[in-house]
Amino acid sequence: MKNTLFLIGAGFNNDAKQEAGKITGHSIYNGEYEIQCGYPLLNDLRRICFDKEIVEEGNSIEERFATALKEKDYKPLRRLYDTLMEADYYLIPKLLPHGDNPNNCYAKFFDHYNGASFLTFNYDSLVEIFLLRMGRWCPRDGYGVPVEVEIESGVRTNDPNWKSSSLVLHLHGSLCIYKSEFDVTPMPSTHIQRLSLKEKPDYIFDPESISSLFFPFSGSPLRIADYDPVEFRVIAPVPDKAEGFRQQFIKDIHCRARQLISRTGQIIAIGYDFSPYDASLYRHLLIELANCERPRALIVSPRAKDIEKRLSGDYRRIDWHSVGMTFKSWVDAGFPE
């Protein structure tokens, strides 16, 4: 279905592990063993990224990440990166149309909503990899901003400049993009290179450890002056407009998001709880929706009724609907709206 716009939260990925089935590895010492991996929910992140530390009452997990980064503690972000990349690497190949379970709920979903675009608060790459394999998305323009890409050496594509029919806008930023803020140019008749700051940074696609899932696109040949380590790949790890929205990438993404909302006049939110602590992240999106003609929003979540009740009081112009189901249950029920 064309022109449908989805808002994706962590609950969207919650069925991926079950749908993918058992993931096995092989050890020369112990033989076959099960690989434990999956997409984390909020409480999982507290455990994975911050050991047994409890995030303070009234603080979101993004605020805790922000505090860690201000203290130059990159371990939580590294743990997040490793967890998501591992889940992408092991789970997505089993969910794709040629995988072990081609009739899984994700394959059905992307096939049913052909031409839809996505706003996501997740850092993983499940949505865009699916759309890439279906010929609907390309990293060159599919993130909503121009991104430099590389094609695998020796690979010829039918149309190397194809454009995305579906967009995937990462409202927090992406683990697969880093900033290139400097130009490096050799000075004539010397072995010296000149480093100059660009007026506006370029964005370069580099999926690193999951680059094979983005075939025929590969990781970027890194230049030492340009390369940002993983702790800087998440363009906006903070929840508040004070720091996150200063970043040009995030400004551009949220501007495109508002354009998509104004064009469609409706959103379907899947697995996103609209936490009051994160209101600064989504308030401007709902205001944009409320300003549309006949705005409509559907919430798909086990807690959908409670979320609808809370939001409908603040955004009265929006025609709210809710389906109290998990993502898989909603798909299996035939996408009730």
Sign, CA torsion 229/235/240/245 = positive
**Predicted TM-score (pTM) above 0.75:** yes
Distances from the Cα of 138 to the Cα of 78, 110, 119, 155, 279, angstroms: 26, 16, 16, 16, 30
Q: Name the residue with tokens 């909020």.
A: 42
Q: Residue 76: its pLDDT value, please?
A: 83
What is the rounded distance in angstroms from the CA atom of residue 91 to the CA atom of residue 197? Answer: 40
Residue ranges of domains in the chain: 5-22+32-332
Residues in the chain predicted with pLDDT less than 70, given as ranges, are: 1-2, 52-60, 62, 153-161, 180-187, 189-201, 219-247
CA 292 to chain centre: 25
Residue 285 half-sphere exposure toward CB, CA atoms < 13 A: 29
Peptide bond into 216 cis (omega under 30): yes
What is the rounded distance in angstroms from the CA atom of residue 254 to the CA atom of residue 241? Answer: 11
What is the rounded distance in angstroms from the CA atom of residue 118 to the CA atom of residue 20? Answer: 22
